[in-house]
Amino acid sequence: REGLISKFAMASNSSIPMIQTLVALCPLLGLLGTVTGMIKVFEVMAVSGSGNVRAMAAGVSQATVPTMAGMVGALSGVLLVTILSRRAARETEFLEDSLTMDH
């Protein structure tokens, strides 16, 4: 009984660590995209000068989009991990209750 419950719990939770790792990477990848975009903005400023504030603002605005996307992905992932963890716990508890023998 205990072995079966343990195997079921392990199988139910097996994908959660991978999802958590991917969720943790989302904001980092977003920041990487933002830094890359900012480098491009600074390169344009260095070549053309910093006189065009509108062009700089548009470039900075565009460079922050990856961070927002990374944060949206991370928040969605946290919600997914929470839902999957709760479902696995609920199913494991249901299995425990189903396998309980009444004496």
How far is it, in rounded angstroms, from Cα 63 to Cα 35? 7
Average pLDDT, the chain: 88
pLDDT at residue 102 in the model = 61
pLDDT at residue 51 in the model = 67
**Three-state secondary-structure class, residue 50:** coil
The total number of structural domains in the chain stands at 1
Counting Cβ atoms within 10 Å, is residue 82 exposed (0-12), middle (13-18) or buried (19+)? exposed
Residue with the larger pLDDT of the pair 102 and 25: 25
CA dist 66 → 1, 4, 35, 40, 72 (Å): 48, 44, 9, 14, 10
Q: Is residue 20 over pLDDT 90?
A: yes
pLDDT at residue 34 in the model = 92
CA angle, 48 as apex, 64 and 61 as ends, to 5°? 15
Query: In terms of residue numbers, what domain contains 62?
Result: 2-99
- Cβ(40)–Cβ(59) below 8 Å: yes
